[in-house]
Copies of this chain bind each other. A is one copy, B any other.
Amino acid sequence: MAATPLYKQFADQLAASIREGVLLPGERIASVRIASQQRKVSVTTVVRAYELLESRGIIESHPQSGYFVREQAPASDKPAAKRSARQDNPAYQRSTEVDVSRLVLATLKTIQQDGTVPLGSPYPNPALFPSQRVSQYAGKIMRDASHSSVFDDLPPGHPDLLRQIARRYLENGLKVDPEEIVVTVGATEAINLCLQAVARPGDTVAVETPTFYAMLHAIERLGMRALEIPTDPQRGIDVDALEQIMKTQPVAACMVMPNFQNPLGFQMPDGEKERLVRLAERHQMPLIENAVYSELYYGNAHPSSLKNYDREGLVLHCSSFSKSLTSAYRIGWAMPGRYRAQVEKLKFLNTLTTPTAPQRAIAEYLTQGGYERHLRRVRRAFAQQRDLMRHFVLRFFPDGTQVSEPEGGYVLWVELPSRVDAMELYRRCLSLGITVAPGRIFAATNRYSHFIRLNYSYPWSREMEQALKLVGKLVLELSA
């Protein structure tokens, strides 16, 4: 009797791993080349095994990104948010390759279409921005500076803007030297450069779960692995869980959004922020802080930053004006602590320069004043709209729906009844001209299959109410 062929043996082992939950639905499996090396079998054997599993509907290939475990959430799959973090949950101890950007880009492009109700948008309502004034400055600077040369734009950034950013931090209780700052093309580039400065391809990077997908994008772009750390919807990343996990494996860096995290909306308590920084110090682990929502607080005072507790320059702080002043110019910045030189150099390598005119326009706006007044108006609007959005979601959505309580920013995290497939909801909403952000894009693994994120930065309207009612109806249908 012939022995079982090697490729069938390998396929059966892999199927067992998937059945046992070692590999989760949506998770990427090792590339053919890697698997061939790891298992010490030929490339052909791996290819045949994968083809067999694909034909059985156990895995699927995504063009140009490899093979993935097919999405069939087992009944036992427990949602992570809204439950206390279990440090002994093995799902929290494995790092994962990341590939969410295609889905994110696809969802963003749907919002781009005219006339859609932008509940799925990650951006604040641009009508709230004082764009008219900033644009006037920019227009004037552009006309006057027609002979400006690219030299003026060399990193780290325009001195006027660096000074204004530092002044703004000082007003918010953080002493910053303008020389610590490197201007970037949005916070996106800042996060990318900071991560590249501190970790290498293949390294494991700890993230919150759920996390803002920009963090996952940075990890994906650099070929690193994401390690999802339990994150409390009120208190933020579980520092103890992170410490436990760091005992079992090397973690090259940790990326967090301590203030008004997207999508959960929490503000980490000061004590937790400090504990996180101390943990980082003990392990000399860099912390990448995404602070783009910090100005959008509903409380009485500007929240602290990890930078406030950073004694050793381990915090790489990233922010931008895109969420608080204008998104038209893509002006962000990094304060990379002890990694400043590397980040400045990577900025130079990545995009050479950030154009000066927009930097000068924003600097001019900040110099002329009115930013704080503008922000107060925005914060008030968002706080009211949060209450309305929560109210109507709880009214229109079926029993079992739970919503977050954001303390700043403009997004609501919604846990739907567990039978609801948020991707299917997303598709059905889209056919009605409504966008929602499916939970799938907030994790490297498919933990949030029945979660959505809703944007409440737009003023409440009859149209919004009708749209939300429709979404609620679809949720009810899908939960049946």
Residues on A facing B (Cβ under 8 Å): 63-64, 101-102, 104-105, 108-109, 111-112, 121, 123, 126-127, 129, 131-132, 134-136, 138-140, 142-143, 145-155, 185-186, 188-189, 192, 200-201, 217-218, 220-221, 223, 322, 327-330, 341-342, 345-346, 348-358
Contact = CB atoms under 8 A, between A and B. Distances in A.
B351 A145 contact: no
B131 A138 contact: no
Nearest to A116: B151
Nearest to A346: B221
A151 B350 CA distance: 23
A149 B201 contact: no
Contacts of A104: 348
A330 B328 CA distance: 15
Contact of A327 (B111, B149, B200): B149
A351 B353 CA distance: 13
A153 B358 CA distance: 16
16 contacts: A63-B345, A64-B341, A105-B154, A105-B348, A126-B148, A135-B143, A135-B145, A136-B143, A139-B139, A145-B328, A146-B328, A150-B328, A185-B352, A186-B353, A192-B349, A355-B358
Contacts of A330: 153, 351-355
Nearest to A121: B151
B150 A123 contact: yes
Nearest to A114: B151
A355 B329 contact: yes
Contact of A112 (B111, B154, B188, B201): B154
A189 B135 contact: no
Contacts of A105: 154-155, 345, 348
A129 B145 CA distance: 12
B342 A63 contact: yes
Contacts of A102: 345
Contacts of A132: 143, 146
B348 A101 contact: yes
Contacts of A142: 135, 138-139, 142, 328
Nearest to A150: B327
Contacts of A127: 147
A355 B328 contact: yes
A271 to B, nearest CB: 30
A472 to B, nearest CB: 25
A327 B189 CA distance: 20
The 8 tightest CB contacts between A and B, nearest first, are A139-B139, A131-B146, A221-B349, A112-B151, A135-B142, A188-B352, A185-B351, A150-B327
Residue from A153, A192, A330 having most chain B Cβ neighbours under 10 A: A330
